[in-house]
Amino acid sequence: MSVKLEEMERFAEGTNSVLNEMRQRVEDLVEETSRQRQRAAENEQELCRVKRDFESLKSYVSSLISRSNSRLLRGFFERLVAKTTQLEGEKMQKEAEVQKLMEENVRLSALLDKKEAQLLAMNEQCKVMAMSGSNNSQVPAMVDPMLELIYFVCGSCTFLYRLKLYRSMPTEKIVG
């Protein structure tokens, strides 16, 4: 029996040793699991911190882009307003110039009509004087200068008539 007892003791010791090894392995596994859980919790905290930092940076970059776009748009708008103001000023200046030219044209047309009427009246007077001079033998010396004056006046009338026609033509015909 002692052999059996020894065998049983050896078996119990072997079993005890296996159990101790298994207990040690279980304890090691429990410790490792605990460490892994702690690392997982730390990793989770780190991930949350990184996510917060990322969102913060994302918000900061968005605000920078917003400010930059705002400045850029403000610059474009200011240049657009300046150009519009400049063009409006130029337009008003051109309109004033056109108005002055139209007034000058009206004034010159009236002056031309007045001069034409004066020349026609002088032409008629010269014709009357020439006719009366040819009937009157006392003024033979005035006939030649009178005829010259008549030719001059008639030439001036013709010139004014042509100028009036030229002025009344459309600009395309004048240029072309």
User: Residues near 154 by Cβ (< 8 Å), separated by ≥ 6?
Assistant: 123
**Are 112 and 164 in contact, with CB atoms under 8 Å apart?**
yes
Which is more confidently placed, 4 or 90? 90
DSSP structural state of residue 142: G
Q: What local confidence, expressed as pLDDT, does residue 66 receive?
A: 85
- pLDDT band, very low/low/confident/very high, at 5 (cuts 50, 70, 90): confident
Q: What is the mean pLDDT of residues 3-9?
A: 83
Q: What local confidence, expressed as pLDDT, does residue 46 receive?
A: 94
Token pair in block for residue 163: 């100028």
Average pLDDT, the chain: 81
Q: pLDDT tens-digit profile of 155-171? A: 666 666 666 666 666 65
Q: Is 136 helix (H, G, I), strand (E, B) or coil?
A: coil
pTM tops 0.75, yes or no: no
Q: pLDDT tens-digit profile of 98-134? A: 999 999 999 988 888 888 888 888 878 877 876 776 5
Rg (CA), the chain: 59
Q: pLDDT tens-digit profile of 28-78? A: 999 999 999 999 999 999 999 999 999 999 999 888 888 888 888 888 999
